[in-house]
Amino acid sequence: MEPILFIHGYSSEGKDKSHRKLYGQLPKLLKQAFGKDAIQELDLSRWISLEDGITLNDVSFAMDRALKKEFPHLLASGFHVIIHSTGALVARNWIRRFSPKPSPIKNIIYLAGANFGSGLAHVGKGQLARWGRFIFLGSEPGIQVLNELEFGSWKTIDLHRHFLQSGNNIYHDYEIQEFCITGSQTFSGLLKKVIRIIPIRYVKEDSSDNTVRTCSGNLNFNYIAVTPKPHTFELTANYIQTQINKREQGKTINNTYYNLGLDHLSDSRPNIPFMIAYETAHFGSDIGIVDGKKNRSQIITHIKAALKTKYDINAYQKTAERFKTGLERTLEKVKNLKGGLFNWNKQQQYEAHSQIIFRIRDQFNNAIPNHDITFHSKKTMKTKSPSNI
């Protein structure tokens, strides 16, 4: 089997975190399974990546230079990648900007990958967070990277759109197999009780691991382009105002003004294996996805399954089914979780959620950063449901 490369990209741990503190026993366990020479580590300088002027492109460029200097044999023979959190964007961006086709990367495993952002990116840019990081970690927050880690970041969406374009399919053109493993539980023990009173919703959201939403870590996404039809540019100001007034009054208008692009729906791409681990948080020595002690078995089992998957569509989809079974087992276990009046509702953490990101452009194709979106639901007839639903 090809070597496994642990990539340490942008992270929030500061300059004094060693590889062992970042990945715990995970490298050791994989060495036991695949041999002592199976693991390689690439440090992209976490300390420098926390400088405010550093961008995601800079970190991916550093990854390219480091690979060429330190691991030219891997670029020639191929390798697997394991990466955590924001590192998912670093790796995907390296593939977009620097990887040949097919790529030397064979299988890439995202552990709680922040593919579509994190709410904590916005919180991390605040003045209080900046002071706290400087005092306790001795670093800047890495403003540029946090901007690209925001929900709905334009640069990040463009990154993912790259792999939807003809000739850039990550499976068929780059020949890379991706695997997503994430958690949906916040901290355990005393820290959990403290988190309850902190007025930051993103560390205690349902369907989140206290940093990344499960849907933000899932690469089985859809991209739908809604574009105006040619005749809409000929509508008069009075006619447009009439339609606006109807919408403000809650009235329906005919949907004759826009084209709905359905070219990039997920059913046209291979199903990417996605698994939610039971009682797993973003980090922590107890239930953290990387180094948690209580969840090692299920995490290691799925990492091994991903690494052993040969480049074959049938084998890849078989592993996707295995990941789906793992997710179903997690949800089955959730039924037995107990709550209480003063306890954290663990079952709510696993409720299914979706994330919808809107990008609005004007008639000149310029970005409209500030806008309001209103959803209107339709009334449906009540039907008699089976008693067990």
How is the chain split into domains, by residue range? 4-222+265-350, 224-263
CA 302, distance to chain mean position in Å, is 18
12-17 long-range contacts, CB within 8 A, separation 24+: 12/50, 12/124, 12/133, 12/137, 12/141, 13/46, 13/137, 14/46, 14/47, 14/50, 14/133, 14/137, 14/138, 14/139, 15/46, 15/47, 15/137, 15/138, 15/139, 17/46
Q: What is the pTM of this model?
A: 0.87
CB atoms within 10 A of CB 74: 19
The dihedral through the CA atoms of 1, 218, 266, 168 has a sign that is negative
Residue 340: predicted pLDDT: 62
Classify 301 as helix, strand or coil: helix
Write down the H helix ranges in the chain. 19-23, 26-34, 46-49, 56-70, 72-77, 87-98, 120-124, 127-136, 143-148, 154-162, 189-197, 237-248, 296-307, 313-334
Residue 152: predicted pLDDT: 80
Q: What is the mean pLDDT of each run of 10 residues along the chain (389 residues)?
A: 82 50 83 91 68 85 92 96 92 96 98 90 56 47 78 90 92 97 80 65 84 93 90 91 87 82 75 94 88 92 97 97 96 82 72 89 86 74 42
Assess whether the previous peptide bond of 102 is cis (omega < 30° from 0): yes
Residue 347: predicted pLDDT: 81
Is residue 9 within 8 Å of residue 59, measured between CB atoms?
yes
- CA separation for the pair 142, 120 (Å, rounded): 13
- Phi and psi at residue 52, to the nearest 5°: -65, -30
Q: CATH: 3.30.70.2860, 3.40.50.1970, 3.40.50.1820, 2.60.40.1760. Which one for 4-222+265-350?
A: 3.40.50.1820
Is residue 290 within 8 Å of residue 283, measured between CB atoms?
yes
Classify 258 as helix, strand or coil: strand
- CA separation for the pair 101, 92 (Å, rounded): 14
- CA separation for the pair 172, 178 (Å, rounded): 12
